[in-house]
């Protein structure tokens, strides 16, 4: 024999050993890797789609706005605003936008629409997609209207028909397929109708109290720095109650709002990934336990602790990398479905491309999570003594306990860091980690307690099969904890989705009582008030509310002029208060959605002569005022000095008309005002009939049918829950894979026991019963705990966050609980098929040898 020795095994030897070992046994871990693959696919798909969305928004931001920048205001431009517009070279296009009722004369049907009167070649970027295409260019000159395609379909209206807006009947010259800034949720409630700017006045729709938006669109020189322009001009416009938005800032805002939804979905995906990791930790634990003898042999023949540790670390990291790679591929394929899933939310079509960051994150996550969660069992290879080749040592050293604590800390730190990365808020990340820890700890704790309880109170008098199935739950190498965790988290997630959806819908739901308004008439002028009320009464319906509304802005807060506060960057007043046009009413009583926080209403006696007002607590907080502070309001040119006499907590969640500011009676009666009338129509037909009648009689009045809005909200919630369900599906699938893996891991142990039982004379039926009971306990307990945890969590959410009565959905109890239990039973029995069906000797030869 001749050989040369370098005296030390090379790194390549470690890789070679890892490869040799995984060739023979790695397939056992592949199933568990599948759970990591699913989790990573979920995370990568969402991350990648979010990146794509951001990129698309950046690329399409001009097309979304239709211009480089816009100056907008809720009032016609005053001299100063006009001067700014002129200094910028004058607007290239302008628009006036407002909500109004539309009548389709062909059928007499009415619908709330978003009217936009446009002058100029808007949009300058992107396009008005119309059918026929030339209508986008000719509607202004021809005096026609472009009507939203869905609306036309809904009311069976064709090009060439007409639409009546206010006092004017417009020919429909084109179907509006897409327009910048007119898609998404807003367009579902008030679909867009485009008319020429000059035709707006003739409609008579812009009156006192009308909510109107004036937009001035600009095309910038290519070299113009829009950020600089925004910084320079916007503060000057702010004090005039106008605003400048560039396509960049609008894109950013849009990106942020969709980003938040993406973050939420990412967390759901991350939970699926964590669940997979628990599966990995459990499988690696058993895997390494079986490898410890080999590790001891390797140490015996001269391998160091580092070498043996690294062999298995490389193996696990390799699997993590492989899992990560497959997860990334899966995620990229999956994200192709997102534009379809999120249809209706997105204001534009998203072009999907490869997102390198998300792909890299997937690979890193795969390796990191596999290693991190396998580290605790892997540490056993470090601490195992070579003496184990001669005898077994079960004692755990204090060193190994310390190391395990470090690993646990590293895992928690990683989950926190990753959550922080997703949420960009340390506080929310902390809550998320705590939530995860609590759910996992409760599920794990209950599993341990359950096993201890079985041991302690073992039902010795029960039948053989029932006893045997209970014994199986705490056999050596049992998977009870992992299975309960996997099943429990899955059930928890699904049930929480159902319960939360119920809470959200309960928030938005309408009370069916007759005295609860479900139709609101907006912008009713004082001279129309009586006639409108009579029309409602003539239909046999009650006029529930007849509320006067006066618009006003704050002029001074606690003696400081609002203009000064706007320019004061150190002011702590929330800025929206300074710019907001408040819609105020007057009455001397409180309504059921209001509760006194401080002071009294109506104030018994005003001693100072200053007008006492009641303010909602949230506005008072934002305006930094308390009872006794003074506020001067500008009521359409007239200044009114007021004093905060009363603070109210307002339940804004109730779908009814609430107010931030109340004046007492006897002050505003003669101010220019408009009215809001409400009624209750018992069914949709009567609602439609009333709307038709009112719109014909009062073309300028806008009518909101709360039931229709609720239908839109329900539709949106349905879509959202569909998307969330889709993501939760990954958790369930991961749970199923962990379940299959756990069943298979304990299969060998099970086979030995069952074979022994069969050899001793147990019938196949008895073995089947034992296995059935075992999985029945696991399924029922896991799903039951998950659902109850979710019930408790949702109850807290409803009580303290949404402040609504919580009436839980029955679906988790009637569908999720039996569904998951049966699934667990099916997987358990299916994977034990060979144990149940084969004769003992054959099983022993095939499975054990």
Partner 1 sequence: MSKILNVSQLGKTYTSGTKELTVLKDINFSISAGETFAIVGPSGSGKTTLLGLCAGLDYPNTGTVELCGADIGDLNEDQRARLRNKNVGFIFQNFQLLPTLTALENVVVPLELQGVKQPAKIGKELLDKVGLADRWHHYPSQLSGGEQQRVALARAFSNRPSVLFADEPTGNLDQDTGDKVVRLLFELNQEAGTTLVIVSHDMELAQKCQRLLKLRGGKVVANEVVELS
In sequence order, what are the residues at sequence separation of 6 or more whose Cβ sits closer than 8 angstroms to the Cβ of residue 446?
484, 488, 781, 785
Token digits of residue 590: 């409180």
400 scored as a contact of partner 1 (CB under 8 A): no
Structure tokens at 23: 């060739």
The least CB distance from residue 842 to partner 1, in Å, is 17
Q: Per CB under 8 A, which of residues 641..660 are in contact with partner 1?
A: none
Residue 334 to residue 227: CA distance in whole angstroms: 36
Which tokens sit at 24? 């023979």
DSSP 844: I
Going by C-alpha positions, the residue among 512, 513, 511, 515 that lies closest to residue 678 is: 515
Give the 3-state secondary structure of residue 468.
helix
Of 298 and 577, the one with the shorter C-beta distance to partner 1 is 298
Q: Which stretch binds partner 1 (CB under 8 A): 44-52, 333-341, 388-396, 497-505?
A: 388-396
Residue 316 interacts with partner 1 (CB under 8 A): yes or no: no
Q: Using CB under 8 A, which of 512, 570, 589, 849 touches partner 1?
A: 849
Q: Which CB atom, from 21 or from 129, has the smaller least distance to partner 1?
A: 21
Cβ of residue 387: shortest distance to partner 1, in angstroms? 5
The tokens describing 649, both together, are 């907590």
Nearer to partner 1 by C-beta: 25 or 555?
A: 25
Sign of the CA dihedral with 57 first, then 58, 60, and 66 last: positive
Interface pick for partner 1 out of 137, 232, 289, 293 (rule CB under 8 A)? 293
Contact status: 848 vs partner 1 (CB under 8 A): no
197 or 382: CB nearest partner 1: 382
Piece of 293-301, 502-510, 581-589, 791-799 that binds partner 1 (CB under 8 A):
293-301
* Closer residue to partner 1, CB minimum distance, 13 or 431: 13
Give the Cα-Cα-Cα angle 332, 337, 341 (nearest 5 degrees): 135
50: exposed, middle or buried (Cβ count in 10 Å: 0-12, 13-18, 19+): buried
Q: What is the DSSP string of 59-109?
A: HHHHHHHTSSEEEEESS---HHHHHHHHHTT--SEEEEEEEEEEEETTTTE
Q: Which is nearer to partner 1, 304 or 837 (CB)?
A: 304
The least CB distance from residue 302 to partner 1, in Å, is: 2
Q: Which of 362, 394, 357, 396 is nearest to 376 (CA)?
A: 396
Decide if residue 297 touches partner 1 (CB under 8 A): yes
Nearest CB to partner 1, comparing residues 289 and 475: 289
Q: Quick one: tokens of 826?
A: 């099916």
Task: Please work out, in degrees rounded to the nearest 5, the angle formed at the alpha carbon of residue 201 by the alpha carbons of 200 and 206.
Answer: 85
Per-residue binding string, partner 1, 341-380, x by CB under 8 A, is ----------------------------------------
Please, which of residues 801-830 interact with partner 1 by CB under 8 A?
Answer: none
Evaluate whether 233 touches 244 at the Cβ level (below 8 Å): yes
306 near partner 1, judged by CB under 8 A: yes
Q: Which is nearer to partner 1, 307 or 469 (CB)?
A: 307
The Cα 73–Cα 94 span in angstroms is 12
Q: Per the structure block, which two tokens stand in for 452?
A: 């201890």
> Residue 389 interacts with partner 1 (CB under 8 A)?
yes
The answer to whether residue 394 forms part of the interface with partner 1 (CB under 8 A) is no
Q: Which residue number, 24 or 801, has a Cβ lying nearer to partner 1?
A: 24
Among 11, 59, 83, 390, binds partner 1 (CB under 8 A): 390
Counting contacts by CB under 8 A, is residue 8 touching partner 1? yes
CA atoms in the 13 A half-sphere facing the CB of 515: 1
Distance separating alpha carbons of residues 446 and 439, to the nearest angstrom: 11
From the CB of 836, what's the least distance to partner 1, in Å? 25
Quickly list H helices, 509-551.
526-538
What does 773-841 look like in DSSP terms, one character per residue? HHHHHHHHHHHHHHHHHHHHHHHHIIIIII-------SHIIIIIHHHHHHHHHHHHHHHTHHHHHS-HH
Q: Is 846 in the site for partner 1 (CB under 8 A)?
A: no
Q: Bridge partners of 641?
A: 632
Q: Is 385 one of the binding residues for partner 1 (CB under 8 A)?
A: yes
Residue placing its CB nearer to partner 1 in the complex, 64 or 295: 295
Q: Which is nearer to partner 1, 56 or 315 (CB)?
A: 315
Half-sphere exposure of 15 (CA within 13 A, CB side): 4
Q: Left if phi > 0, otherwise alpha if psi is -120 to 50, otherwise beta: which for 115?
A: beta
Cβ distance to partner 1 smaller for residue 29 or 738: 29
**Closest CB to partner 1 among 24 and 572?**
24
- Length of the chain as a residue count: 849
- Within 580-639, the residues that bind partner 1 by CB under 8 A are none
Integer CA distances (angstroms), 321 to 281, 288, 311, 379, 837, in order: 16, 19, 15, 20, 38
- Tell me which of 294, 630, 725, 766 binds partner 1, using CB under 8 A: 294
The interface mask with partner 1, positions 112-131, x = CB under 8 A, is --------------------
Q: Is 5 in the site for partner 1 (CB under 8 A)?
A: yes
Applying CB under 8 A, the span of 5-13, 634-642, 747-755, 769-777 interacting with partner 1 comes to: 5-13
Q: Answer yes or no whether residue 844 interacts with partner 1 by CB under 8 A.
A: no
Mark 256-275 with x for binding to partner 1 (rule: CB under 8 A) and - for no binding. Answer: --------------------
11, 83, 185, 387: which one binds partner 1 (CB under 8 A): 387
Nearer of residues 19 and 155 to partner 1, judged by Cβ:
19
Among residues 128, 298, 350, 787, which is the contact residue for partner 1, using CB under 8 A?
298
Residue 760 sits in the site that holds partner 1 (CB under 8 A): no
Q: Is 403 in the site for partner 1 (CB under 8 A)?
A: no
CB of 292: closest distance to partner 1 in angstroms?
12
d(CA 313, CA 310): 5
Q: How far is the CB of 280 from partner 1 (least distance, A)?
A: 20
Give every CB contact of residue 438 below 8 A, 6+ residues apart in sequence. Answer: none
Nearer to partner 1, 162 or 393 (CB): 393
Question: Is residue 4 near partner 1 by the rule CB under 8 A?
Answer: yes
Rounded CA separation 258/264 (Å): 10
Pick the stretch among 4-12, 77-85, 113-121, 408-416 that binds partner 1 (CB under 8 A). Answer: 4-12
How far is the C-alpha of 88 from the C-alpha of 234, rounded, in Å? Answer: 13
> Residue 276 in contact with residue 25, Cβ under 8 Å?
no
* Span 10-49, contacts to partner 1 by CB under 8 A: 10, 13, 16-17, 20-21, 23-25
> Using CA atoms in the order 317, 272, 833, 757, what is the torsion angle rounded to 10 degrees?
80
- Of 263 and 299, which CB lies nearer to partner 1 in the complex structure? 299
Q: What angle do CA 609, 614, 615 make, to 5 degrees?
A: 130
Angle subtended by helix axes 747-759 and 764-796, to nearest 10: 140
Give the total of residues touching partner 1 (CB under 8 A): 37
Q: How far is the CB of 37 from partner 1 (least distance, A)?
A: 24
Nearer to partner 1, 248 or 300 (CB): 300
> Which range of residues in 179-187, 211-219, 252-260, 303-311 is near partner 1 by CB under 8 A?
303-311
Whether the CB-CB separation of 94 and 216 falls below 8 Å is answered with: yes
Pick from 31, 119, 300, 627: which binds partner 1 (CB under 8 A)?
A: 300
Q: Which residues bind partner 1 (CB under 8 A)?
A: 1, 3-10, 13, 16-17, 20-21, 23-25, 293-294, 297-307, 385-387, 389-391, 849
């Amino acid at each position: 024999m001749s050989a040369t020795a370098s005296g030390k095994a090379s790194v390549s030897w470690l890789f070679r050993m890892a490869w040799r070992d995984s060739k023979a046994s790695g397939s056992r871990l592949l199933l568990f890797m599948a759970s990591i693959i699913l989790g990573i696919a979920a995370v990568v798909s969402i991350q990648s789609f979010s990146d794509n969305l951001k990129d698309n928004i950046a690329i399409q931001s001009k097309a979304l706005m239709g211009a480089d920048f816009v100056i907008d205001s809720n009032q016609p431009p005053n001299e100063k605003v006009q001067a700014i517009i002129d200094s910028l070279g004058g607007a290239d296009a302008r628009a006036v936008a407002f909500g109004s009722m539309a009548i389709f004369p062909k059928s007499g049907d009415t619908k709330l629409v978003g009217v936009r009167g446009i002058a100029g070649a808007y949009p300058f970027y992107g396009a008005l997609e119309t059918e026929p295409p030339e209508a986008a260019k000719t509607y202004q000159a021809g005096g026609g209207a472009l009507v939203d395609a869905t609306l036309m379909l809904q009311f069976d209206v064709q090009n060439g028909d007409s639409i009546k807006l206010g006092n004017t009947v417009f020919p429909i010259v084109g179907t509006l397929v897409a327009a910048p800034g007119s898609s998404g949720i807003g367009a579902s409630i008030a679909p867009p109708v485009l008319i020429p700017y000059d035709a707006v006045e003739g409609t008579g729709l812009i009156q006192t109290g009308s909510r109107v938006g004036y937009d001035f669109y600009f095309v910038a020189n290519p070299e113009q720095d829009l950020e600089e322009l925004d910084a320079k001009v916007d503060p000057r416009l702010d004090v005039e109650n106008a605003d400048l938005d560039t396509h960049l800032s609008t894109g950013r805002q849009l990106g942020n709002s969709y980003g938040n939804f993406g973050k939420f979905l990412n967390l759901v995906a991350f939970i699926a990934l964590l669940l997979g990791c628990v599966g990995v930790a459990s499988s690696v634990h058993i895997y390494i336990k079986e490898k410890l003898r080999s590790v001891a042999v390797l140490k015996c023949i001269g391998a160091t602790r580092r070498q043996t540790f690294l062999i298995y670390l490389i193996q696990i990291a390799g699997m993590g990398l492989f899992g990560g790679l497959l997860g990334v591929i899966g995620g990229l394929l999956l994200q192709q479905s997102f534009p379809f899933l999120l249809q209706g939310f997105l204001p534009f079509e998203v072009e999907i491309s490869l997102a390198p960051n998300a792909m890299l994150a997937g690979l890193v996550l795969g390796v990191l999570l596999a290693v991190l969660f396998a580290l605790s069992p892997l540490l056993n290879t470090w601490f195992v003594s070579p003496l184990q080749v001669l005898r077994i040592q079960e004692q755990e050293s204090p060193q190994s306990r310390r190391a395990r604590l470090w690993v646990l800390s590293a895992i928690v730190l990683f989950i926190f860091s990753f959550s922080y990365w997703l949420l960009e808020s340390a506080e929310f990340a902390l809550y998320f980690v705590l939530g995860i820890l609590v759910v996992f700890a409760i599920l794990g704790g209950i599993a341990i307690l359950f096993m201890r309880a079985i041991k302690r109170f073992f039902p010795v008098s029960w039948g053989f099969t029932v006893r045997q199935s209970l014994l199986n739950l705490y056999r050596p190498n049992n998977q009870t904890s992992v299975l309960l965790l996997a099943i429990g988290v899955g059930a928890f997630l699904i049930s929480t989705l159902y319960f939360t959806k119920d809470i959200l819908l309960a928030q938005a739901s309408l009370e069916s009582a007759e005295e609860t308004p479900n139709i609101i008439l907006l912008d009713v002028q004082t001279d129309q008030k009586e006639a409108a009320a009579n029309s409602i009464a003539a239909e046999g319906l009650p006029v529930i509310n007849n509320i006067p509304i006066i618009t006003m802005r704050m002029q001074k807060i606690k003696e400081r002029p609002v203009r000064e506060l706007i320019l004061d960057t150190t002011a702590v007043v929330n800025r929206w208060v300074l710019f907001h046009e408040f819609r105020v009413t007057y009455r001397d009583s409180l309504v059921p959605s209001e509760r006194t926080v401080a002071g009294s209403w109506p104030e018994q006696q005003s001693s100072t002569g200053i007008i006492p007002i009641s303010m909602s607590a949230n506005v008072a907080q934002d305006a930094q005022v308390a009872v006794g502070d003074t506020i001067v309001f500008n009521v359409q040119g007239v200044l009114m000095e007021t004093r905060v006499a009363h603070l109210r907590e307002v339940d804004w969640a109730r779908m009814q008309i609430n107010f931030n500011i109340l004046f007492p009676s006897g002050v505003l009666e003669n101010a220019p005002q408009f009215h809001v009338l409400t009624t209750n129509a018992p069914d949709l037909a009567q609602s439609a009939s009333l709307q038709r009648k009112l719109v014909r009689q009062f073309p300028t009045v806008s009518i909101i049918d709360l039931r229709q809005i609720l239908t839109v909200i329900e539709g949106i919630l349905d879509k959202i829950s569909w998307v969330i369900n889709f993501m939760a599906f990954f958790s369930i699938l991961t749970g199923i894979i962990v379940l299959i893996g756990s069943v298979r891991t304990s299969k060998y142990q099970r086979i030995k026991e069952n074979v022994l039982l069969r050899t001793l004379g147990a019938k196949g039926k008895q073995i089947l019963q034992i296995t059935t009971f075992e999985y029945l306990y696991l399924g029922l307990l896991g799903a039951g705990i998950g659902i109850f945890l979710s019930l408790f969590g949702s109850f807290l959410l409803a009580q303290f966050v949404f402040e609504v009565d919580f009436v839980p959905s029955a679906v988790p109890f009637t569908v999720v609980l039996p569904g998951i239990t049966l699934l667990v039973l099916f997987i358990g029995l299916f994977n034990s098929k060979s144990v149940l069906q084969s004769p003992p000797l054959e099983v022993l030869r095939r499975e054990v040898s």
